Structure 1
Amino acid sequence: MTVEFPHLDLSADEVLTTTRSVRKRLDLDRPVPLEVVTDALEVALQAPSGSNLQGWHWIVLTDPEPKKIVAEYYRKSYTAYAAAGAAVRQAKPPKDADTAEKVASSATYLAEVMEQVPVLVIGAIHVPGGQLPEGNQAGLWGSLLPAAWSFALALRERGLGSAWTSLHLEYEREVAEALGVPPSVRQGVLLPVAYTKGTDFKLAKRAPLDTVLHVNKW
């Protein structure tokens, strides 16, 4: 029997433009049924992949121990990342210092509470031999990342949020060993998943299109 989950009354454009990186508004206390995660992953499986190989794998963590392991490696990587970022901002203050500070504070919060997030989902992909290709890897990751983003969009429509992260990949091998991931499967993204505190997310501030648009030539 298929379980039906509530959906927000959002248009496709609203889902696409209001799916934000959610950190401080993740509800750490509200349980997330595994079924709602797999329901959103069913949507993700409709994404394209190179030669239709569908080589993706989804590692869904709900138990405290594996979440703690991933969180500890994530924090270890984040500590170095945050220190480097702070040094860069001090040497060259960003144009929008307030936004930069808010993003940094939000990211620090997520690192601190990562294991408390109800569900952690790692998107990964089968790589023959486990060796990443040299040079441009767009062909490989282009067969995983669209599905991972579709998953994030499907979560948004169901009233849940996530934040696209990859800092744990600094310790990809250690995480793989702890979770029993075979060497032929390489990780590409970590998505902490929870219901959100409120569902009213707005468009983000972005540079105007004409500053990045190139028609027919650069």
Structure 2
Amino acid sequence: MTVAGRASLFDLGEVDRLLTTTRSVRRRLDVERPVPAEVVREALELAVQAPTAQNLQHWRWIVITEEKVRLGVAEQFRQARWLDRYRGTRSRRGRREAESRRLQDSADSVVELIAKVPVLVVPCMVGRPPDIGRIDAEWTGRGYRFDPDDIRSRSRMGAMMASNFYGSIYPAIWSFQLALRSRGLGSTITCMNLMFPGPFAELLGIPEVVTPICVLPVAYTVGTDFRPAPRVPAGERTFWNRWGIEEAP
């Protein structure tokens, strides 16, 4: 196979199929079929090949297979979903009824999924999420702002540090999901655990200096015939060289 006249190192048809059909799977997870620990290990070994800021590899992974622990997580998700529903009665009033119901049903299904799925994986990062506002305030409070000609007076550090923090784990999470998909398993990213950070950390024994990022329910899928999702074409939301310029050079 060639790309732009050059030989490709991979079977692009299969690579593209993997990338375009790795879905966020909820309803089509087989909660009755056991997931061998070795399959999870293989997927994690592939995941940690993902890039990470400064090659620090500050990720940690908690794999939950014990029913008691999983049910504890599910109970926290159930409470978080109740709070989210309360908030949603206000924030979703402007949406179409059918769309709102679909989104609520999908979120409700995650709660039940957490309680039944054979494996939960919790990606974590060593460290705490950067406080953008505090970091920027400290940075600009060092006297740089008093010199308008000094490039340091126009710089900020908070957003860059936050991007490095989350950008060092989500590529690995996505690689983990791709590895699962290639082995006939599915998953979905859910973050409702973050509504109860203290109780969640206590349940799993997570140290205070470690940040859980999300929870991924993992199981074999019912069937493998996933299709690309409907998406707005990238070309309609891509600019070249400057914002608003839609024509390629």
Answer yes or no: same fold by TM over 0.5: yes
1:137-164: CA deviation from partner (whole Å, max 9, x where unpaired): 1110111111011001100000000011
Q: Which residue of 1 aligns with 2:51?
A: 48
TM-score, normalization by structure 1: 0.87
- How far, CA to CA, are the matches of 1:29 and 1:86 in structure 2? 34
Cα offset, 1:78, TM superposition? 1.7
Cα offset, 1:212, TM superposition? 1.9
Tell me which moved more, 139-148 or 105-114. 105-114
- How far, CA to CA, are the matches of 1:12 and 1:98 in structure 2? 35
Q: Which has the higher contact order (CA 8 A, sep 6+)?
A: 1
Is the aligned partner of 1:24 residue 2:27? Answer: yes
Contact 1:49–1:144, Cα closer than 8 Å, also in 2: yes
Q: Which residue of 2 aligns with 1:92?
A: 94
In structure 2, the residue corresponding to 1:12 is in which secondary structure? Answer: helix
- How far, CA to CA, are the matches of 1:182 and 1:115 in structure 2? 24
Q: Aligned ranges for residues 56-205 of structure 1 at < 5 Å? A: 56-89=59-92, 91-94=93-96, 98=98, 101-127=101-127, 131-135=128-132, 136=159, 137-205=162-230
Cα offset, 1:38, TM superposition? 0.8
- How far, CA to CA, are the matches of 1:154 and 1:99 in structure 2? 31
1:110 is matched by which residue type in structure 2? V
- Bigger Rg over Cα: 2
In structure 1, the residue corresponding to 2:124 is in which secondary structure? Answer: strand
1:51 is matched by which residue type in structure 2? Q
Structure 1 residues 14 and 196, CA gap change in structure 2 (3 angstroms): same
Q: For structure 1, list consecutive stretches of 5 or more residues without a partner in the other structure.
A: 1-9
In structure 1, the residue corresponding to 2:214 is in which secondary structure? Answer: strand
- How far, CA to CA, are the matches of 2:90 and 2:70 in structure 1? 30
Identity %: 43
Q: For structure 2, list consecutive stretches of 5 or more residues without a partner in the other structure.
A: 1-12, 133-158, 244-249
Cα offset, 1:176, TM superposition? 1.0
- How far, CA to CA, are the matches of 2:69 and 2:35 in structure 1? 17
In structure 1, the residue corresponding to 2:217 is in which secondary structure? Answer: strand
Contact 1:23–1:107, Cα closer than 8 Å, also in 2: no
- How far, CA to CA, are the matches of 1:132 and 1:78 in structure 2? 23
Q: What is the RMSD of the two structures over their aligned residues, measured on CA atoms?
A: 1.6
- How far, CA to CA, are the matches of 1:33 and 1:114 in structure 2? 18
Contact 1:28–1:117, Cα closer than 8 Å, also in 2: yes
Cα offset, 1:86, TM superposition? 4.5
In structure 2, the residue corresponding to 1:58 is in which secondary structure? Answer: strand
- How far, CA to CA, are the matches of 1:201 and 1:87 in structure 2? 34
Structure 1 residues 88 and 132, CA gap change in structure 2 (3 angstroms): closer
Cα offset, 1:107, TM superposition? 2.2
TM-score, normalization by structure 2: 0.77
